Chain A
Amino acid sequence: MEQQQPSHHRQAVALPDPATLKRLALSDSGFVFDPVTGNSFTANGSGLAILRQLQGGSTLGEVVAALGAEFEVVSPVAERDVIEFIGQLRNAFK
């Protein structure tokens, strides 16, 4: 997995296992279903956007850049919130 990340950008956060994230079923309304555990969640718009980016294999930098294009948010704020959100994802999807 490390190979997919640009070598010049060291990850500031341990991303959840992409295989785990890829198995999640996401709906546009924010419904998140984990078919392995049977747990379900609700994500808001920004949470869903981050999940989709991570499912596509984006790095932290790419997620932040994508959020900056879609939302009115400056990079440091987005990065701080993404780092905290990823911490939640790691605990929610093991």
Chain B
Amino acid sequence: MNARKPWIKPVLTAHKPGGMNKFGPARPQLHQSEFDGAALEPLLAQYGSPLFVVSEKRLRENARQLRRAFSTRWPKVRHGWSYKTHGMGAVCNALHQEGAWAEVVSELEYRKARALGVPGSRIIFNGPWKPDAILEQAMAEGAAINLDHLDELYAAEGIARRLGRKVPVGLRLNFDTGYSEPWSRFGFNLETGAAMDAVRRIGASEWLQLNGLHSHIGTFVLDVRAYAQQARIMAGFMDAAEREIDCRIDYLDIGGGFASRNALQGIYLPPDQVVPGLDQYAEAITEALTEATRARSGQGKPLPVLVLETGRAVVDDAEILLTRVVGGKHLPDGRRAAILDAGVNLLFTAYWYNHDVRPLRANAGLAEETVLFGPLCMNIDQLRASVMLPPLQVGEALCISPVGAYNNTQWMQFIHARPAVVMIMQDGRIETIRAAESLASLSGPECLPAALQTPFPEQPAR
């Protein structure tokens, strides 16, 4: 006996009929050792695990692709970067440098955009609650404000009166496209007449001027016909509003909701087969809009700016999450389970996506059905219910993607500090864009009353 063979964990895989189907063979074993040209294992070694990694290049390319898809089909296009999708300053500023405005939905987000240096005149202010002080600031600074409900309309009118000038405002609409589940909680409903009531109310106001319409039909909308119908309905309402009162609609804001190349749970086919490309969305929307505004063009009226609040489709595949295996076991039902150092605390979207998971190294051995659990003391902390993975040693690094949308805004500090986020810059350098949290991040804002300074007062302090 000379050289011993390398150790690979023992695997026994049962043969099951029915694994193949006409849509393709079983998932091949893949690995991902780099992202946007950067080797991933050295990144983990330097910054620790888990680690979020953003590609600046991919982010900018996606934004350009969106702009190209629409601006080649419609004369005036504006992209509002959705801060709630990814609100980190580095991400926001990369997209602002690509020409995107800020699309914010709260006081905090408005202040964040201003603190980054975005002028109020390039902020789109949405959301169901805009406190008076920030609404006044936004109106004074010339932000594009989309009103959500009547109380907000009256609040805006009161502020405009105080400012002593007529202020332009947009109206958020909701309606049924017939293709996607109607979202009726935001904005004024079209079918009940509430939207036209709001138009008339603005028309009667000395202080408000209607200049835009907004709607957002849903999220991860896979049927481009829903957007085409949205565009037709909004264009029709624009004409109706302009007939009803003295106003000129400058913009139609169709919100966000374009799907990213992620695998939504419950959808059988892989994302490559079901998720429309940005060009397909653009084609459907601009074709419907062109048709619906033909008469308008004939009358010599200017075409509205088409505003997009695309978040997910721009940022999702520009970020990955690296994590390490910290333990493993076999469950009573025979499935193998791996415990990772990243869970739903960092990957909120695991509740509705089946993320792609790949080892960093080309791993020998048979793929086995595996459940991926996170490190939380919570039964719901499961990142994948079933994924085929080769044998995993403790310490094995995995790459989870795409994770750019909503995870860094909805992650939670629950029993673990949140990890660092790094960005692979366009020139290949690595920059930390958010430092890893520590105990101080958690207890820093806390205050201990004098009587509660020590846990065991009867014992002398150490």
Contacts and interface: CB of A to CB of B under 8 A. Distances in A.
B456 interface: no
Interface residues of A, number: 29
B12 A77 contact: no
Interface string B272-295: 000000000000000000000000
A44 B366 contact: yes
Interface string B1-16: 1001111111111110
Contacts of A70: 1, 4-5
Residue in A44, A71, A82, A85 whose Cβ sees the most chain B Cβ within 10 Å: A44
25 contacts: A32-B12, A39-B14, A39-B15, A40-B14, A41-B12, A41-B14, A42-B366, A43-B10, A43-B12, A44-B11, A46-B8, A46-B9, A46-B10, A46-B11, A69-B4, A70-B1, A70-B4, A70-B5, A72-B7, A77-B7, A81-B10, A84-B329, A84-B330, A89-B12, A92-B334
A60 interface: no
Given A41-B15, A42-B366, A81 B9 contact: yes
Interface in A6-31: none
B365 to A, nearest CB: 5
Nearest to A92: B12
Given A44-B366, A84-B330, A92 B7 contact: no
B4 A71 contact: yes
Interface in A58-94: 67, 69-73, 77-78, 81-82, 84-85, 87-89, 91-92
Contacts of A69: 1, 4
Q: Interface size bucket, B side?
A: 20 to 34
A77 B12 CA distance: 18
Interface of B: 1, 4-15, 328-330, 334, 365-366, 391
B271 to A, nearest CB: 29
Contacts of B328: 84
Contacts of B365: 44
B10 A50 contact: yes
A48 to B, nearest CB: 8
A47 B15 contact: no
Given A41-B14, A46-B11, A71-B4, 7 more contacts: A40-B15, A42-B12, A43-B11, A47-B11, A73-B7, A85-B10, A89-B12
B13 A87 contact: no
Question: What 3 pairs between A and B have smallest CB-CB spacing?
Answer: A47-B10, A73-B7, A85-B10
A45 interface: yes
A24 B168 CA distance: 80
